[in-house]
Amino acid sequence: RRAAGASYLVGLNPEQREAVETVEGPLLVLAGAGTGKTRVLTTRIAHILSLGLAWPSQILAVTFTNKAAREMKERIGGIVGEEVEGMPWLGTFHSIGVRMLRRHAELVGLRSGFTILDTDDQIRLLKQILQAEDIDDKRWPAKMLASTIDGWKNRGLTPEQVPAGEGATFANGRGKMLYAAYQARLKALNAVDFGDLLLEGIRLLRENPDVLAEYHRRFRFILVDEYQDTNVAQYLWLRLLAQGSRNVCCVGDDDQSIYGWRGAEVDNILRFESDFPGAKVIRLERNYRSTGHILGAAGHLIAHNEGRLGKTLFSEGAHGEKVTVTGAWDSQEEARAIGEEIEDLQRQGHSLSDIAILVRASFQMREFEERFVTLGLNYRVVGGPRFYERAEIRDAMAYLRCIAQPADDLAFERIVNVPKRGLGDVALRQIHEQARAAGVPLQEAARQLVGSDALKPKVRLSLMDLVQSFERWREQAAQMPQNQLAEIVLDESGYTGMWQKDRSADAAGRLDNLKELVRSMEPFENLTGFLEHVSLVMDTEGAAGQDAVSLMTLHSAKGLEFDTVFLPGWEEGLFPNQRALDEQGRAGLEEERRLAYVGLTRARYRAKVYFASNRRIHGLWQSSVPSRFLDELPDGHVEVTESKGGTGWGGGQANGASRRYGYGPSRFDQAETFGSTYSTPGWQRAQAAKGGSFGGRSGGAGGSGGFAEPASRFGGV
Ligand code: ATP
Ligand code: MG
């Protein structure tokens, strides 16, 4: 078979080559961004296959996303050709976990064909359990219990293993008992949740030595990408499997650990050497991805973190263009300026698929999506739905549709029991029957039912409340700006409250999205105009298979690379995120900084950072403080530019704590931005309202002022 001179080895540097060829024994590749870690993994698999050291089915390879798994498969195929009939054990922890459990379901008390519960099912089940235990779901929400249990599962703890006293806060110390009850219910239903995929896998391997032995024989080689983001359960699972052949290769970068909030533990990297004594550690130091300026900027930034393992990183390529930092007046102008830069790049012959916009929070996407629709630029949202397709946005829109279009049955069905108000399937069926009998839309049928005595008293009261609310909102719609109406509707319907009470990790992001939705309504004359606008935006199909700009969060950009990367929203409170700033200690802030490092190092040739001097929240101007990360970028690698948008408030006018970027103009405490024309930028109106005075400093104190919220119904994020 092919040997040492094989073509796929040519071009690797000596360290990479060593990592590829060291197939026996434990190996840790610890290296910075863009040094070829993923490439080493891929080539290593190809190497193993072409030397005939293993069959494709004898290799276990873990990637962080399904997309990464597909790409790796393709690349391996590209090297070794059709010899690879796919690799059944190449995938994410979850996908491999399912596969393993399916083969041995009965050994962990499941039947084959077990179901995997999604989050909604999980919550519903936990609610039933709380009910059965007579625990008040209002005081002790099921979602809170769900995230406690997920946390335990991420740490590899079964109910019996949860240390006494842990989770004592939940329902006066009954958390552990509830966890056990939940697991028992899952078994009875022949179901697992996501956390179980590994937890049950661990139990399977621990309790069944023959099964473990079978996998030890099977997996001749184990490889793991993005090792820094494994959690304890994943780590335990891996360690069990790797004790067989001990041919385990993990690659990672402690500076890119960005999932601490989901239970990932960087310490797993440190444990590797103690768990696998004699493990070889290879460091890769040459970055092949980015130009010198980009690397210099990123390296300087991440050096502000304490507690790093420490790495050298250099690039032999050109210095290239400096990282640009651009101040825009507000987020709308930020989107406009980035849109123009993209059009410029396009005119110069760059293809859109080489361009990405990486945001800190998903709500930032909306402004870009709308701008791209206006410009006719193809874009795709990677790793998530587009803004108006998000569940919480669809819910909120459904309320608005019910107001503007009383005959919109789909919208009514969507929200009749969201949040839960006792109008479940039975009630909905009755409403449907009435609608059919009377030949009227659902909302009208509901109104008729409320006037009859066909419903149970409780149901009737609840439905009456909803029907009357819609009538009230419809009257109000004619009297107030649409965004104000939307805020009232989301508040009075209990929809905002539902997410405020929600303890799951994504609840805060959903609240941000709702705020962004309200904000986006500001320029519209009336509700109908806004709804039409959204259907137009929605109508532009996702750019599948076409040349398109990628729009995604920093978190989902891990491992990817683009010629040009735009990084908008570098403002205190947004990035670093407010929740990280509020946290005790440095951990949260350092994770944000690693995220910034991940962002910058996605770029091959151009990294373009933006910040807006003002973010408008609920029609209230909030001046924002440029991110501390901007100050951590070294002068020599950075160029501060004026926004092309024209109204830009660029850098260089420093008058505050921020060395180069100064603070934005003062807060405009006005409410006059509920304008009626779409074209006048809000700030001009604001300026007029204030007599054009821009002076003064931000009201917020250093770290956290910029994004501080005015007291509002949306509080509690
Ligand atoms: P990240 O930390 O961002 O996941 P990584 O360490 O996994 O990065 P890769 O994505 O494997 O890095 O490689 C970065 C880029 O450098 C890729 O485009 C890859 O093809 C290229 N590359 C890696 N090694 C070499 C090499 N020896 N010669 C030329 N190009 C290389
Ligand atoms: Mg990689």
pLDDT digits (tens, 9 = 90+) for 199-221: 999 999 999 999 999 999 999 99
- What are the pLDDT digits (tens) for 466-482? 999 999 999 998 888 88
Q: Environment class of residue 451 by beta-carbon count within 10 Å: exposed (0-12), middle (13-18) or buried (19+)?
A: exposed
Whether ligand 1 lies within 6 angstroms of the CB of 288 is answered as: yes
Q: Which residues contact 333 (CB under 8 A, 6 or more apart)?
A: 612, 643, 645, 647, 648, 681
Q: DSSP label at 556? A: G
Instruction: Give the DSSP letter string of 134-162.
Output: T--TTTS-HHHHHHHHHHHHHTT--GGGS
Q: Which of 92, 230, 256, 673 is catalytic?
A: 256
Q: Which is more confident, 33 or 648?
A: 33
Q: Buried b / exposed e across 242-279, counting CB within 10 Å, b at 16+?
A: bebbebbbbbbbbbbbbbbeebbbbebbeebeebbeeb
Whole-angstrom Cα distance, residue 525 to residue 21? 66
Q: Answer yes or no: is pLDDT of 404 > 80.
A: yes
Q: Answer yes or no: is pLDDT of 614 > 50.
A: yes
C-alpha distance from residue 259 to each of 163, 265, 555, 655 (Å): 24, 8, 8, 36
Q: What is the pLDDT of residue 670?
A: 29
CA of 306 to the centre of ligand 2 (A): 23
Whole-angstrom Cα distance, residue 675 to residue 688? 12
Q: What is the pLDDT of residue 370?
A: 87
Whole-angstrom Cα distance, residue 463 to residue 445? 11
Average pLDDT of the segment spanning 143-165:
90
Whether ligand 1 lies within 6 angstroms of the CB of 602 is answered as: no
Whole-angstrom Cα distance, residue 314 to residue 336? 34
Whether ligand 1 lies within 6 angstroms of the CB of 594 is answered as: no
pLDDT band at 63 (very low <50, low <70, confident <90, very high): very high
Tell me if 190 sits within 8 A of 114, measured CB to CB.
yes
Q: What is the pLDDT of residue 5?
A: 60
Q: What is the pLDDT of residue 540?
A: 53
Q: Answer yes or no: is pLDDT of 306 > 70.
A: yes
Q: DSSP label at 265? A: -
What's the alpha-carbon Rg for the chain, to the nearest Å?
Answer: 28
Which tokens sit at 72? 């790796």
Instruction: Give the DSSP letter string of 410-426.
Output: HHHHHHTTSS--S--HH
Angle at 589 between CA 291 and CA 170, to 5 degrees: 140
Q: Answer yes or no: is pLDDT of 360 > 50.
A: yes
Q: Answer yes or no: is pLDDT of 618 > 70.
A: no
Q: What is the pLDDT of residue 521?
A: 87
Average pLDDT of the segment spanning 367-381:
88
Beta bridge partners of 324: 608, 639
Told to judge if 256 belongs to the known catalytic residues of this protein, a careful annotator would answer yes
Q: What is the pLDDT of residue 674?
A: 26
Ligand nearest to the CA of 12: 1
- Percent of all residues in the chain with a pLDDT value above 70, rounded to a whole number: 85
Instruction: Please name the residue whose Cα sits nearest to atom 11 of ligand 1.
Output: 36
Told to judge if 225 belongs to the known catalytic residues of this protein, a careful annotator would answer yes
**If we measure between CA atoms, which residue out of 698, 549, 715, 538 comes closest to residue 625?**
698
Whole-angstrom Cα distance, residue 668 to residue 623? 8
Q: Does an H or E element contain 379, and which?
A: strand 379-381
> What CA dihedral angle connects 516, 521, 527 and 530, to 10 degrees?
-100
Q: What is the pLDDT of residue 267?
A: 79
Q: What is the pLDDT of residue 293?
A: 96
C-alpha distance from residue 526 to each of 477, 486, 533 (Å): 8, 11, 11
CA of 36 to the centre of ligand 1 (A): 3
ipTM surpasses cut 0.95: yes
Instruction: Please name the residue whose Cα sits nearest to atom 27 of ligand 1.
Output: 12
**If we measure between CA atoms, which residue out of 261, 161, 713, 189 comes closest to residue 492?**
713
- What are the pLDDT digits (tens) for 438-462? 989 899 999 999 988 889 999 999 9
Beta bridge partners of 330: 614
Q: Which residues contact 385 (CB under 8 A, 6 or more apart)?
A: none
Q: Answer yes or no: is pLDDT of 713 > 60.
A: no
Q: What is the pLDDT of residue 717?
A: 24
Backbone phi and psi for residue 455, each to the nearest 5 degrees, phi listed first: -100, 155
Whole-angstrom Cα distance, residue 102 to residue 111? 9
Q: What is the pLDDT of residue 262?
A: 73
Average pLDDT of the segment spanning 505-521:
86
Q: Answer yes or no: is pLDDT of 75 > 80.
A: yes
Instruction: Please name the residue whose Cα sits nearest to atom 30 of ligand 1.
Output: 288
Going by the annotation, the residues of the binding site for ATP are: 31-38
- Ligand 1 atom closest to residue 559's alpha carbon, by position in its atom list: 4
Q: Answer yes or no: is pLDDT of 175 > 50.
A: yes
Whole-angstrom Cα distance, residue 251 to residue 244? 19
Q: What is the pLDDT of residue 545?
A: 59
- Ligand 1 atom closest to residue 253's alpha carbon, by position in its atom list: 2
Q: Answer yes or no: is pLDDT of 264 > 50.
A: yes
> Which residue in this structure is represented by tokens 């929070």?
361
Q: Which residues contact 36 (CB under 8 A, 6 or more apart)?
A: 12, 13, 16, 284, 286, 288
Q: Environment class of residue 678 by beta-carbon count within 10 Å: exposed (0-12), middle (13-18) or buried (19+)?
A: exposed
Told to judge if 67 belongs to the known catalytic residues of this protein, a careful annotator would answer no
Going by DSSP bridges, is the β-strand pair 620-623/603-617 parallel, antiparallel, or unpaired? antiparallel
Q: How many Cβ atoms from other residues are within 10 Å of residue 455's Cβ?
A: 21
Told to judge if 226 belongs to the known catalytic residues of this protein, a careful annotator would answer yes
pTM of the model: 0.76
Instruction: Give the DSSP letter string of 570-620.
Output: -BTBBTTBHHHHHSSSSHHHHHHHHHHHHHHTTEEEEEEEEEEEEEEETTE
Q: What is the pLDDT of residue 84?
A: 64
What is the rounded average pLDDT for all residues in the chain? 83
Q: Which of 226, 516, 561, 591 is catalytic?
A: 226
CA of 76 to the centre of ligand 1 (A): 15
Q: What is the pLDDT of residue 399?
A: 94
Whole-angstrom Cα distance, residue 392 to residue 513? 8
> What CA dihedral angle connects 263, 266, 268 and 271, to 10 degrees?
-140
Q: How many Cβ atoms from other residues are within 10 Å of residue 479's Cβ?
A: 8
Q: What is the pLDDT of residue 536?
A: 65
Q: What is the pLDDT of residue 188?
A: 86
- What are the pLDDT digits (tens) for 329-341? 999 899 999 999 9
Instruction: Give the DSSP letter string of 79-100.
Output: HHGGG----TTEE-HHHHHHHH
Average pLDDT of the segment spanning 118-132:
84
Q: Which residues contact 162 (CB under 8 A, 6 or more apart)?
A: 152, 175, 176, 179
Q: Which of 150, 193, 225, 522 is catalytic?
A: 225
Which tokens sit at 635? 């002068």
pLDDT band at 530 (very low <50, low <70, confident <90, very high): confident
Tell me if 603 sits within 8 A of 563, measured CB to CB.
yes
- What are the pLDDT digits (tens) for 560-598? 999 999 999 999 999 999 888 988 888 899 999 999 999
Q: Buried b / exposed e across 78-111, counting CB within 10 Å, b at 16+?
A: ebbeeebeebebbbbbebbbbebbeebbebbebe
Q: Answer yes or no: is pLDDT of 523 > 80.
A: no
Q: Environment class of residue 676 by beta-carbon count within 10 Å: exposed (0-12), middle (13-18) or buried (19+)?
A: exposed
Whole-angstrom Cα distance, residue 245 to residue 243? 6
> What is the identity of the amino acid at 683?
W
Q: Which is more confident, 536 or 221?
A: 221
- Cα torsion 537, 538, 544, 550: sign: positive
Tell me if 524 sits within 8 A of 530, measured CB to CB.
yes
Q: Answer yes or no: is pLDDT of 261 > 80.
A: no
Q: Answer yes or no: is pLDDT of 152 > 90.
A: yes
Tell me if 516 sits within 8 A of 616, measured CB to CB.
no
- Ligand 1 atom closest to residue 41's alpha carbon, by position in its atom list: 11
Q: Which of 16, 38, 430, 622 is catalytic?
A: 38
Q: What is the pLDDT of residue 45?
A: 95
Tell me if 301 sits within 8 A of 597, measured CB to CB.
yes
- 482 φψ region: left (φ > 0), alpha (ψ -120 to 50), beta (else): alpha
Q: Answer yes or no: is pLDDT of 64 > 70.
A: yes
C-alpha distance from residue 395 to each of 39, 411, 513 (Å): 43, 8, 12
